[in-house]
Amino acid sequence: MLFRVPRAWLEKSEQMKLLKYMIMLLFLAVIIGGLSSCKYDSEEDLYGIDDCDTDGVTYQDNILPILNRSCTACHSGASPSGGVGLDNFDLVKISADNGSLLGSINHDSGFSPMPKGQDKLSECEIKQVKSWINNGMLYD
Ligand code: HEC
């Protein structure tokens, strides 16, 4: 025989157990490594694809739902918070024109951060507001 496995090695069941244990550890390491390597792989990071749609943003389709969700609870009616009404197109345009709409949701210095007492709007929502303003504040 060309290669003789020493009997002493094979017969030592303790050593076989150790070997199996090490193989299991190796498998675990591969599986855990495989899982964690995908953790931060968003499409945007990998390919520069941004799944936030900022094309053709309009008041009716995009801005109104954002405002209704996060702002008009305080900014509507006869005496809106801070004297800032956001419950119709013309009022929203006033805040957009004077910079306070974007400044406040972007938490820029010099503006009260909005929505007050709540989480910041998502990056996508802020991008959509920005796009809406930059593209002339379309109604629909
Ligand atoms: C819980 C109530 C509340 C919510 C919700 C809220 N606001 Fe306000 N907002 C206020 C108050 C009160 C003020 C007056 C300034 C202050 O107290 O910080 C204000 C002020 C503002 C101002 C003027 C800020 C400045 O510095 O000139 C803007 C613009 C504004 N809010 C926009 C928004 C927008 C946009 C949202 C939604 C994303 C929103 N707010 C959500 C309460 C709220």
d(CA 2, CA 57): 76
**Quick one: 68 and 117 in the same domain?**
yes
Q: What is the pLDDT of residues 50-64, one digit of tens each?
A: 789 999 999 999 999
Question: Which of the four pLDDT bands, split at 50, 70 and 90, describes residue 138?
Answer: very high
Q: Is residue 46 part of a domain?
A: no
Q: Is residue 43 part of a domain?
A: no
* Domain of 76, in residue numbers: 59-134
Query: Which pair of tokens denotes residue 31?
Result: 């599986």
- Does a structural domain hold residue 128? yes
Q: What is the DSSP letter of 71?
A: T
Measure the CA–CA gap between 9 and 60, rounded to whole angstroms.
77
Largest interatomic CA distance in the chain: 98
Residues 104 and 69 in one domain: yes
CA of 78 to the centre of ligand 1 (A): 15
Distances (CA, A) of 34 to 19, 115, 133: 23, 40, 43
Does 114 lie in the same domain as 70? yes
Q: Of 59, 55, 95, whose CA–CA distance to 75 is shortest? A: 95
Give the model confidence (pLDDT) of 119-131 as tens digits: 999 999 999 999 9
**Rounded to two decimals, what is the model's pTM?**
0.74
pLDDT of residue 110: 97
Residue 116 lies in a domain: yes
For residue 82, how far is its CA from the centre of ligand 1 (angstroms)? 7
CA distance 74 to 98: 19
Closest-lying ligand 1 atom to the alpha carbon of residue 100? 29
Q: Does residue 97 sit in the same domain as residue 68?
A: yes
Residues with CB under 6 A from ligand 1: 70-71, 73-75, 81-82, 84, 86, 95, 100-101, 104-105, 111-112, 114-118, 121
Distance 30 CA to ligand 1 centre (A): 50
Q: What is the number of structural domains in the chain?
A: 2
pLDDT digits (tens, 9 = 90+) for 69-118: 999 999 999 999 999 999 999 999 999 999 999 999 999 999 999 999 99
Q: Considering the domain boundaries, does residue 45 fall inside one?
A: no
Q: Are residues 72 and 27 in the same domain?
A: no
Specify whether 70 is located in the same domain as 130. yes
Residue range 5-37, pLDDT digits in tens? 666 665 677 888 888 989 999 998 888 877 776
